Amino acid sequence: MSERIVVDPVTRIEGHLRIEAEMEGPNIARAYSSGTMVRGLEIILQGRDPRDAWAFTQRICGVCTLVHGIASVRAVEDALKIPVPTNAQLIRNLMIGAQFILDHVMHFYHLHALDWVDVVSALEADPAATAQLAQTISAKHAADLGTDTWPKSSAGYFTDVQRRLRGFVESGQLGIFANGYWGHPAYKLPPEANLMAVAHYLEALAWQRETARLHTIFGGKNPHPNFLVGGVPSPIDLNSDSAINTKRLAQVRDLIAHMRNFVAQVYVPDTLAIAGFYKDWAERGEGLGNFLSYGDLPAAGSNDSASFLFPRGVILNRDLSQIHPVDLHADGEIEEYVSHSWYRYRHGKDRGLHPYAGETRFDYNGRGGVKPPYEQLDVADGYSWMKAPRWKQHAVEVGPLARLLLLYANREAPAHARARELVDYALGTLELPVTALFSTLGRTAARTLECQLIGEQLQGWYDSLIANIRAGDTQTFDASRWQPATWPAQARGAGYMEAPRGALGHWIVIEDGKIANYQAIVPSTWNAGPRDPQGMPGAYEAALEHNTQLHDVKQPLEILRTIHSFDPCIACAVHVADPATGETIEIKVN
């Protein structure tokens, strides 16, 4: 009998994820992905006012923050045929773009980089040699990307970082760097590269605090900004010379520069420098080879998907010569299966349901309760609180790699040429072929290049917004369309969103002014979902089953590398409840 190893919980992610892997020698033969907490948000929304759905759904997760609110509002707008003013689109693009950059940088440095960076090894580094390395890398990419070099690259700077790190280690408490597999032979970076990465890890902590301020200017707060219904809470009056108005305008410009500079001067160089030591991972974690994007970031004043910065479509079998169209409304396109989930459908577990007809019903075990705890997953039956979404019966991967591949392949996309330029630059730097994109390394690099691409768009959206307002374009939302008296008796709509982690869809059915049905398929359901009735694995499972060898089953670093390359957000797919009482956690602040 093959050995089955268990990783539970998978750390440095959002939410609760369990991975089980059946081994054949050092190789993973079969992998199983399980979301271990239940989500019942769809049930909570039934019978509520559709205008309130965005506020509930935006709290699905505190990391993804605004994306569920946008998908929800778009679903209601689609159902009620409400047009979106041009300036509102631009503000949404700015908010989404800032979310992408904030999320991707945080993921790389604080969740994923420690799979490649040996923190303790940084104590052996020569700070002067580290400074030379950092200056060389920064100068090379600054010249190629047309930016300045990162200013914090002196020997004294790295000496200070090393001193702080040594204090952690010598105290016997690594603090934020605890519980790593430090010293694992799969780590390949020299000490100087490790010290450089640790320094940038700490820099990114302060950087993200400043970056979140753009959301507070347009949205009032972060997380969960309030700008989608009723207008932005911090208005900018271009006809006013008040100090606060001038300060807000200056802050937005400075924050955009702040984001762009860190991405181009630190994030991109670090990713390519680290990837250069791990090029063997360009042949690991390939997975399904099928990729889906709903598309997003429309051109100002357009709802045509052809204007999206990120194109909509599906790539099958790694074939970049053909892009298949996607319809979020049509039966037989997007369906969810529960044959290997702890849910049930009225008409059997092997049937797929379109989200408009979707059901969130728990599977009972004959003893009056939900499936009990387990020592190992019952992979022949249900083994996850996630469903298995499929596009025309195909399991697909979503996320930055899917978007970048669609940009690379779609010559009609507005950002196609720049995306291809960035991809070719990265592949040329690493001396890797295009096929390297279909891998754990490619998935990680795609997230970085996407950040560079979005950073280059932010100033343009901001300039267009200001120009429209200065020109007197104050097109407003028709509030009468938001009143239930104007709604049809029945309506349904699909709200799309390309969240940082991938294709996010919300589907709503409205009857007599209330929500009759609501279903959300989140990126981590697409990627982390279990097998379907045909036994087809989800994206996590397929990626782990492709060329993954473990050096030590007690320290499964290799599993973490591939799983983290997807940036899991299981909180979006499953939610926490006490299995005995049904109560959620109560927190009191005195």
The catalytic site residues sit at 14, 61, 64, 68, 501, 524, 569, 572
∠ CA 52-103-384, rounded to 5°: 70
Helix 268-275 to helix 191-211 angle (10° resolution) is 150
Give the pair of three-digit tokens for residue 253: 């410009």
Q: What is residue 268's three-state secondary structure?
A: helix
Task: State the burial class of residue 130 (Cβ atoms within 10 Å of its Cβ: 0-12, 13-18, 19+).
Answer: buried
Closest CA to 51 of 582, 571, 477, 536: 477
Q: What is residue 490's three-state secondary structure?
A: strand
Q: Are 430 and 279 in contact (CB under 8 A)?
A: yes
Q: Rounded CA gap, 11 and 560, in Å?
A: 8
Strand partners, 503: 498
∠ CA 223-249-62, rounded to 5°: 5
Residue written as token pair 């990729």: 291
Please list, in sequence order, all residues whose beta carbon lies within 8 angstroms of the beta carbon of residue 498, skipping any fewer than 6 positions away: 293, 294, 295, 296, 297, 310, 403, 504
Q: Are 504 and 61 in contact (CB under 8 A)?
A: no
CB neighbours of residue 297 within 10 Å = 20
What is residue 546's DSSP assignment?
Answer: S
Residue written as token pair 């090393």: 162
Q: Are 53 and 69 in contact (CB under 8 A)?
A: no
Q: Are 444 and 271 in contact (CB under 8 A)?
A: yes
Q: Rounded CA gap, 74 and 68, in Å?
A: 10
Q: Rounded CA gap, 424 and 407, in Å?
A: 13
> Which runs of consecutive H residues, i.e. helices, occur in 472-575?
523-528, 539-544, 557-565, 570-573
Would you list the DSSP string of 463-479? Answer: HHHHHHHHTT------G
Q: Rounded CA gap, 137 and 149, in Å?
A: 9
∠ CA 45-51-56, rounded to 5°: 45
Task: State the burial class of residue 430 (Cβ atoms within 10 Å of its Cβ: 0-12, 13-18, 19+).
Answer: middle
Q: Rounded CA gap, 88 and 78, in Å?
A: 15
Q: Are 508 and 76 in contact (CB under 8 A)?
A: yes
Q: Rounded CA gap, 263 and 375, in Å?
A: 43
Would you list the DSSP string of 123-168? Answer: GG--HHHHHHHHHHHHHHHHHHHT-PPPS---HHHHHHHHHHHHHH
